[in-house]
Amino acid sequence: AEVPAAVLDDHTRWRRPLVEAAGRLRLLGWASILLIGGAMAAMITLAANAALAANAQVIAVLRLVGAQDSYIAHAFVRRFTLRALFGAFVGVLFALLGVFMLPSPAEEGAFLTGLGFQGWHWFLPLLIPPFAGLVAFAATRRAAFRTLKGLT
């Protein structure tokens, strides 16, 4: 009644595209995680195949003395899985350090303020090393048994 031409603006008109863009950005993030996991599996598979091919004579000798393919594959799987776990753990530590060093929202005029993790979200990146180990385990095991089968 006091201001007859007043319009209540709840910002939905300009906020809606931003919310949609944020949702698509989240989807893009998940897609990139899947792509990184696939690329990691491909690299580990290639490395395992190269290691198995380079050790073909050693594998032949192990088979002569009675070693089963599962024993030989286990040695390669263990080595590649532990390397992937260690590499992912070191990468996560450096990433967390980088996120921790981002400026806080209290700093005036700082760029990228307020980014980072809040509370228990700091523990979410710790899921990456087990995921990397699982991918390395599956990729190396599959590559090892396929290569060992071809070496007979």
DSSP state of 11: S
DSSP state of 151: T
Residue type, 134: L
Write the pLDDT tens digit of every residue in 84-93: 999 999 999 9
Write the pLDDT tens digit of every residue in 88-120: 999 999 999 998 887 776 666 656 566 778 888
DSSP state of 55: T
Confidence of residue 149 (pLDDT cuts 50, 70, 90): confident
Of all residues in the chain, what percent carry a pLDDT higher than 90?
48
Write the pLDDT tens digit of every residue in 7-23: 777 777 777 888 888 88
Q: What does 69-134 look like in DSSP terms, one character per residue?
A: HHHHHHHHHHHHHHHHHHHHHHHHHHHHHHHHTSPPTTSTT-TTTT-S--GGGGGGGGGHHHHHHH
